[in-house]
Chain A
């Protein structure tokens, strides 16, 4: 009787849960006893993670990541994530951190929004209102166990805090959020559709040059589109609307009668409207070990008196961006423009973003493409070119024609699939390919990408979900 009562209560609880549309994301631990998620090695609680064993801390991170996603997605069907840690490649040159995707993809099921379109398992289940493949999980994700071994990363490894203060370690939380995002639907088959049918993702990949989405292109056209830098975008209405609120206005440098697109730095002051103006003066420094060019700005300027109170112009290379900024600052420059020292032939080149950090940098630093920089340098030789750095109120950083760009590098594949936002987006986004270190633990615009493919936002009344 008691057992029956408990069973009834349990069923009522489950029913209440389902009727509220609160399907959970459940981490299905497939590690063997004592390994990975079950590692019993004692661990000291860290940054919101109260786990006292390695395995417990790992589980806590994954459950935290799962919660991050599911508190913002509305589904009546539980999402099961099969997770484990296993040894993957690691050597002196590189490491495999994690792998993930949807376990299955389904088409033409009950309530499928479109015929002959592949949907990832969790989303297909949501539409169908039941688990279409009850014998397996919906998403799989695995992490490299070797990361925590001396042989792989020395004294570095996974960071298990529930914040983003990973220091020299690698945030398991950020990688887990990113990988689960792929499993929920930021994924597909690439140029060659399986069985000639697109995924739901392909329906929203718009090539601005062709004026068509990927499901409307031939494989050959999709191949061309995959490297159409800046012109391959996401056309979903939710991302497009939110991008206008979230993305920053890109800075532009006006010199003479021309506007130059500029790349930004992760250090120095934030660029604001009319944050800097002045004459542009090419810096001259010594040709020495720290910088073999007299234009690289790696050492103390020879023409500091000319540069003081003006905008310094130097070439990229040899020393760090921060070092160049400190040298320009020491010379009294009010800003620094760094010219890229290479370009990709037959590509749309974009001014590089610049990494680094040093709180001592207090002047704005920006970059130009090699072509633009060469042109500006040509004008600046007599020190009479005035420049104004401002934000362009008509555009968004990382968008083209109002649409968020997808990553479609022109030639060199620097390590990305198409299922990422472009790296020119600012602020950096979770689903960019490089998984930048300055991310917060939010799912930013990616939650709206999920809505575009059919997920609905939790709660249905529409809670503000941006946490940046």
Chain B
């Protein structure tokens, strides 16, 4: 029972995380803003659930940490690490100057 539930949950996580794995990289001509990307949302589409086990309880799809980056005017990546879709959206939607300021770049 436990193994099956864990396996199901693991498959769920893998499926969510790989939802767009087959797609090529979003091209530079991609129309949709990155913060609206379905695959970005899918990364955080977690549905944790407790599974009773023979030794304690186990929960899957619990949390996620994603390293994201904005591309500065000089082409350098300005990185951040977020744990929710809301944080990721803020990061990608903010003016890059604001991200740069927060990280000690000029402007």
The answer on A and B forming one complex is yes
Residues on A lying within 8 angstroms of B by beta carbon are 86-110, 112, 118, 124, 128, 132-133, 135-136, 140, 142, 144-146, 149, 151-152, 154, 156, 168, 170, 175, 178-179, 182, 187-190, 194-195, 263, 266, 316-321, 342, 352-356, 409, 412-420, 423, 433-435
Residue pair A89, B34 in contact (C-beta under 8 Å): yes
A435 to B6, Cβ gap below 8 A?
no
Give B2-23 as 1s and 0s: 1 = Cβ < 8 Å from A's Cβ atoms.
Answer: 0100110010010001101111
In the bound complex, residues from chain A placing their C-beta under 8 Å from that of B50 are 195
Q: Give chain B nearest CB distance to A131 CB in angstroms.
A: 11
Inter-chain CA distance A28–B59, complex, in Å, is 21
**Pair A107/B57 contact, Cβ less than 8 Å:** yes
The count of residues in chain B whose C-beta lies closer than 8 Å to any C-beta of chain A is: 68
Contacts A132-B58, A135-B7, A189-B63: A320 and B106 contacting too (C-beta < 8 A)?
yes
Shortest Cβ gap from A408 to chain B (Å) = 13
Give the contacts of B49-107 with A (CB-CB under 8 A): 50, 53, 55-60, 62-71, 75-84, 87-88, 90-92, 94, 96, 98-99, 101-107
Q: Complex: how many Å from CA A101 to CA B3?
A: 20
Some 10 contacts from A to B, beta carbons below 8 A apart, are: A94-B69, A96-B69, A99-B43, A135-B10, A190-B63, A413-B90, A415-B80, A415-B102, A423-B104, A434-B78
Q: Is the interface of B mostly helix, strand, loop or mixed?
A: mixed
Tell me which residues across on chain A come within 8 A of B82, comparing CB atoms: 413, 415-417
A112 (CB) vs chain B CBs: closest residue: B56
Total inter-chain residue pairs, C-beta < 8 Å? 236
Residues of A near B23 (CB, < 8 A) are: 87
State the Cβ distance, A133 to closest chain B Cβ, in Å: 6
Question: Does chain A have a CB within 8 A of B25?
Answer: yes
Cα A97 to Cα B71 with chains together (Å): 12
In the complex formed, the residue of B with least CB distance to A97 is B67
Residues of B within 8 A of A170 (CB): 69, 77
Residue B1 interfacial (CB < 8 Å): no
Separation in Å of the A41 CB from the closest CB of chain B? 16
Interface residues of B (CB under 8 A from A): 3, 6-7, 10, 13, 17-18, 20-28, 30, 33-34, 37, 39-40, 43, 48, 50, 53, 55-60, 62-71, 75-84, 87-88, 90-92, 94, 96, 98-99, 101-107
A104-B59 in contact (CB<8A): yes
Assess the A91–B26 pair: CB atoms within 8 A: yes
The residue of chain B having its C-beta at the shortest distance from the C-beta of A413 within the complex is B90
Q: Quick one: given A99-B65, A105-B58, A188-B63, are A435 and B91 in contact (CB under 8 Å)?
A: no
Q: Are A316 and B80 in contact (CB under 8 A)?
A: no
Minimum CB–CB distance from A424 to chain B (whole Å) comes to 11
Contacts of A319 in B (CB 8 A): 106
Contact between A108 and B57 (Cβ–Cβ < 8 Å)?
yes
Q: How far is the CA of A88 from the CA of B20 in the complex (A)?
A: 7
Contact A355 B25 (CB under 8 A): no
| Chain A residues within an 8 Å CB radius of B81 | 178, 182, 415-417, 420, 433-435
A413 CA to B13 CA in the complex, in Å? Answer: 26
User: Which B residue's beta carbon lies closest to that of A147?
Assistant: B25
Inside 8 A of A189's CB, which chain B residues have their CB? 62-63
